[in-house]
Amino acid sequence: MPHSSNSPADHPDFSTSPAVHHSSLRPEPADEAVGSPAQRAFRQAVLDVENLRQRLRDLEADQADARRRYWQHVGPLAQAVVTARQALFPPLEEALLLHFFSRAEEQQITSLIVANAHSLRDRFGEDATEILQRYATYHKSQNTTTTKPDSYQDDVNQASEPQRGGQRRKTKAQRAQEAAEREAQAQQQSLLGNTKAVYRQLARANHPDLERDPERAQAKTIRMQQITEAYEANDLYTLLQLLSEHSTDADAASDDLLTRYTQALHRQQTELKQRMNELKLGANGFFGSTGKKQEAELRQLKRHLRAEAEYLQHIGHVITEPNGLRDLLKQLAAEGHESI
């Protein structure tokens, strides 16, 4: 029943390159001042990204453990609710074939079927595609001519023209900001997918044939082998590490390239922080709580699920009789409910 979704990373995972161990991401204290400012900034950006990734991995592991404990506690009760809700579909669908109910009542029954399917899908991760495909379109068409009381819509209708104008101006500004963010992200993705630029920069600085000193030429020969292997493996991370470690202080082009990649890493830091906040405060925020608070929430949830299962089982018996279903429809309408 529990399900999770993993959004794809927008950028390469610098922290898990097969050619580099995590220990190499942490510069030794003696090396922190080595290289140009661009080189040092890049190495620090890599370290910051790795630290954030480690914190994110720890948080995901903690929440995975909490999720396992959660389903150990509420799994049986949640399954009871799922079973009871699934048992509502046959009598509700059969009721639509009886020609016992008015058109308005049939529309209400259809609404109950759709709402029940949404509950199973959205709350418990159950596959309700077949039910939704069968009834959702009909349900939508039946409601296109019906105006429902909506306090939010009333508030919008009562808004003054100056307020609406401000809302339009704000929306326009938001669109411009979102477009700029999309463009920046596209540029960063293009940058982070380009190993050729880094390879050319390294090759110019490390070609052994351009070195007169035999010892330095030998060192550059070894380095060029590393550069070529990384390029052939499309290993951007190793190429950037070599660029940050071995380009000369006077190599302005290398520094400029490192600066651009450092900016991309800063963007990764922002995205990682956002992901951590989503895990802590989003829909799965429960799994980030600990101790007594989590235990209290579990007890409350179990009470709700147990009561829901018992109520659904009672409803399941009631709606097997047409008159019982009609009484339920009247009760739900009187209370303003469209779902069980």
The pair of three-digit structure tokens given for residue 253, joined into one six-digit string: 């082009």
Q: Return the pLDDT at 32.
A: 52
pLDDT-based confidence at 214, cuts 50/70/90?
Answer: confident
Q: Return the pLDDT at 29.
A: 43
Sign of CA dihedral 181, 182, 186, 189: positive
Q: Return the pLDDT at 139.
A: 47
Q: Return the pLDDT at 42.
A: 84
Specify the residue for token string 């007169």: 212
Q: Return the pLDDT at 89.
A: 94
Question: By the 8 A CB rule, do 224 and 206 touch?
Answer: yes
The span from the CA of 11 to the CA of 240, in Å, is 14
Chain-centre distance for alpha carbon 4: 9
pLDDT (tens digit per residue) in 84-105: 999 999 999 999 998 899 999 9
Q: Return the pLDDT at 282.
A: 57
Q: Return the pLDDT at 175.
A: 78
- HSE, side-chain direction, 13 A CA sphere, residue 130: 4
Q: Return the pLDDT at 192.
A: 57
Mean pLDDT is lowest, of 14-28, 51-65, 165-179, 189-203, for 14-28
The answer to whether residue 332 scores a pLDDT higher than 70 is yes
Query: Max CA-CA distance within the chain?
Result: 99
CB-based contacts of 264: which residues, under 8 Å, 6+ apart? 11, 188, 191, 192
Q: Across 30-44, 122-136, 286-300, which has the greatest mean pLDDT?
A: 122-136
The span from the CA of 155 to the CA of 148, in Å, is 14
pLDDT (tens digit per residue) in 104-123: 999 999 999 999 999 998 88
CA end-to-end span of the chain:
20
Q: How many CB atoms lie within 10 A of CB 171?
A: 10
Q: Return the pLDDT at 289.
A: 57
Query: Would you call 57 helix, strand, or coil by DSSP?
Result: helix
Q: Looking at this protein, which amino acid is placed at residue 247?
A: S
pLDDT (tens digit per residue) in 314-327: 999 999 999 999 99
The answer to whether residue 202 scores a pLDDT higher than 60 is yes
The answer to whether residue 78 scores a pLDDT higher than 70 is yes
Question: By the 8 A CB rule, do 265 and 192 touch?
Answer: no
The pair of three-digit structure tokens given for residue 130, joined into one six-digit string: 């077949």
Nearest partner of 188 among 266, 243, 273, judged by Cα: 266
The span from the CA of 79 to the CA of 271, in Å, is 36
The answer to whether residue 336 scores a pLDDT higher than 80 is yes
Query: Would you call 252 helix, strand, or coil by DSSP?
Result: helix
pLDDT (tens digit per residue) in 165-196: 444 456 777 777 777 777 766 665 666 556 78
The span from the CA of 333 to the CA of 99, in Å, is 20
Q: Across 54-68, 110-124, 131-145, 199-213, which has the greatest mean pLDDT?
A: 110-124
Instruction: Spell out a b/e string for 129-138, using b for 16 or more CB atoms within 10 Å of the CB, else e.
Output: eebbeebbee
Q: Return the pLDDT at 207.
A: 82
The span from the CA of 287 to the CA of 4, in Å, is 13
Question: By the 8 A CB rule, do 202 and 210 touch?
Answer: no
pLDDT-based confidence at 270, cuts 50/70/90?
Answer: confident
From residue 244, give the alpha-carbon distance in Å to each of 42, 202, 219, 248. 7, 10, 16, 9
Share of the chain above pLDDT 90, in %: 23
Span 118-139, mean pLDDT?
82
Q: How many CB atoms lie within 10 A of CB 254?
A: 23
Question: By the 8 A CB rule, do 42 and 266 touch?
Answer: no
Nearest partner of 117 among 91, 86, 139, judged by Cα: 86
